[in-house]
Amino acid sequence: MAKRGYHHGNLREALTGAALALIVQKGPQGFTLSEAARQAGVTPAAIYRHFAGRDDLIAEVARQGYGLFAAMLADLDETAPGLRVRAMARAYLAFAEDHPGHYIAMFESGIDIARRPALARAAGEARDLLHAGCAGLGPDTGEIAAHIWSLSHGVVELYLRNSAGLNHPPEARALLARALDTYLSGLAAPASHNSR
């Protein structure tokens, strides 16, 4: 039994799967490598064949998450800028709901993306898709993408995940749709209405 780790069919995949389950159960910093190894059915020493430590394992889960999120964005059918932005925001909420372990690893683990090139590339690809989806909405696509991402992320954190601890949080999708309507109508307003 002790040697199972050295003969595991796909140890890396088994360990990331174990980490995903533990992240959801205990949070990104709430489990040990020994727990991940036990859940994957391998010895703790076997982990070090693929990961330098827990943060390395969590970073791999986050990298996978950015890949999944980018794939969701790339699969969107909407081409009209306003409709595409709404579809991207809905995809953000769907991603957080459908992939909670990945979402937590990406945004709540404290992993420094800049110090992990593979993770930074994956995050950059998702960010580039968000930027491309905001093209045509205004002169500063990067700023608009930052607003859309921030708005979507805030709704996920405060209301979908209920980080605010509200007894009766508003329905996240309806709230996000109304917020996007307000934001996009502001972008479409004549310049004279936006001047100070």
Digit-coded pLDDT (tens) for 62-117: 999 999 999 999 999 988 989 999 999 999 999 999 999 999 999 999 999 999 99
Average pLDDT over residues 20-34: 94
> What is the model's pLDDT at position 124?
97
Residue 74 sits in the same domain as residue 104: yes
Distance (Å, whole) CA 35 – CA 26: 11
Mean pLDDT, all residues of the chain: 90
Residue 68 belongs to a domain with what CATH number?
A: 1.10.357.10
158 and 68, same domain (yes or no): yes
- Top mean pLDDT of 2-6, 7-11, 90-94 is at 90-94
pLDDT (0 to 100) of residue 164: 78
Residues in the chain: 196
Same domain, 9 and 94: no
Same domain? 79 vs 158: yes
- Full DSSP string of 5-71: GGS-TTHHHHHHHHHHHHHHHH-TTS--HHHHHHHHTS-HHHHTTT-SSHHHHHHHHHHHHHHHHHH
Backbone angles phi, psi at 61, to 5 degrees: -65, -40
User: Taking the CA atoms of the chain, what radius of gyration do you get in angstroms?
Assistant: 20
pLDDT of amino acid 4: 44
38 shares its domain with 64? no
**In this structure, what CATH number is given to the domain that contains residue 32?**
1.10.10
Q: How many helices (H) and strands (E) does the chain have?
A: 10, 0
Residues 30 and 121 grouped into a single domain? no
Verify that 117 and 87 share a domain, yes or no.
yes
Mean pLDDT in residue range 2-17: 70
pLDDT band, very low/low/confident/very high, at 8 (cuts 50, 70, 90)? low
- The percentage of residues in the chain with a pLDDT greater than 70, rounded to a whole number, is 91
47 and 65 fall within a common domain? no
- Domain identity same for 44 and 97: no
Domains held by the chain: number: 2
Same domain? For 155 and 90 the reply is yes
Domain range holding 145?
60-194
pLDDT digits (tens, 9 = 90+) for 130-150: 999 999 999 999 999 999 999
Neighbouring CB atoms inside 10 A of 126's CB total 22
Select from 28, 51, 74 the last residue of a domain.
51
Task: Give the percent of the chain with pLDDT over 90.
Answer: 78
Q: Which two tokens stand for residue 80?
A: 């009209």
Average pLDDT over residues 116-137: 96
For residues 140 and 45, membership in a common domain is answered with no
174 and 156 inside one domain: yes
